[in-house]
A and B are shown apart, each in its own frame.
Chain A
Amino acid sequence: MSDTATTLLEIIQENVPDIQIDPATDGDRLLSELGIDSLDKMSILLAVQEKWDCEFTPEEIAELTTLNALCKKLG
């Protein structure tokens, strides 16, 4: 697992402690299917933007629907 994916998972666990994610099988599943609702997604993306010092446009946010999409976006 890449450093980006590891950090991303840590951020998700911190913001949504009740969910379990297996990056090997859940990477392409929709965040909503993993139990991450729209408000949780806001928190996660804010934490990601703070961590990577970046800013997503509304169009980019709409496309960030899976863990793999997020990892790819962050490089």
Chain B
Amino acid sequence: MKTAEIMRVSLTNGLRVVIEEDHSAPVAGVAVHYDIGFRAEAEDRSGLAHLFEHLMFQGEAGGERDHFQQVESIGGFCNASTRQDYTDFYNVVPAEAVARVIELEAGRMRAPKITERAIQAQTSVVREEILGKMRKPYGGFPWPRLSPVLFRDFANAHDGYGDYASLQHVTLDDCLDFFDRHYSPANAVVTITGDVDTGAVLEVVERTFGRIPARPVPALGSWWEPEPAEQVAAEYTDPMAPLPAFALGHRVPNAAADPGAHFALSALAGVLTGGNRPRLRERLRRETGQIITFSARVGLFDLLDARDPDMWILTAVHPKALSTEQVLAAVDAELESLEPTEEELRRRRTTWINAHHRSMDEPANRVRMLGRFELLFGDPGLAGRLPDLCAEVTAADVAAAARSLRAQPGALLSVVPQEKR
């Protein structure tokens, strides 16, 4: 297995650069993480971070072809995502094209092509994207529907996907201002991984990104808010859902301070809902003869993917023959008494570590994980230590994590299927 060294450096304009060589395949990954997620949006511009992500694909001002065309014509692919605390843009290209794609990313960081026409078209595209994601059974479940149940503050509670009503009023000035404030080099991390020479790509980075003038960086906001004093419950009707469902959301410790706690919660999620004999499904099958589909995870989108606050989520889809209360009682009983066996823990660990290796074998996942760990935690090497963190979790840690969730009220979101007439 490779023991790649990661190089970290900051340019004079404040841009952070992360480079990791990996010569196992003739490809390279280039990612740019901007320290602007949907939590930092203004109340009347809900969805602007996501819309702006779309607009960045117009590429550099003055260019004839947009970013997709440029990257695809050199044989690569590219995409982007908008999360709570960052927006990331990533490209995977044949290794010989790495310099070109670095130039393209620097070009759109320096001066993106933002036009009224693109704002209009991309607002429609975002509307289509949201329609596709929301207009299906359990669309928007648990995210973004669970966030406003667990959280009170707009930053944490609002729908970061984008609110078509508010996006319709986004102006060119809004976008230029958004770019100016959040897309400065000192507010970003550039990550390059794969079949590259560190010195050579660093030279390209300095020649391209290095020429972008420094701009001030907005102060890092704190999104912390008090935990709910008692359980907050909400429900909604999903006309397409075939069965009732619910999601439980619980606040988790700050990932930056205690990544190990997130692994204990992740192992708990695995023991409760993963593998061939997940505890929750087996308990309810034993007690009621019914099959319930559970899933659980740490992190609204992914493990170690956001600053504080973030959540642990459990979802259940259950037959109408069982009430939400019956299923919740079983979850509570399991959390109260859970003592995982060594074998159980070992199996969940194997599953997690194998999934991690499989994920890191994908150039896009690797470059994005290194970049987000630099941006969120100043520690891209964390990616390589995850299997160890996973292996360090003990049965006692998992039991303690289960009790900690019980002690904390959290949020309950119920999905009511519409009775067919």
Partners in one complex: no
Interface residues of B (CB under 8 A from A): none
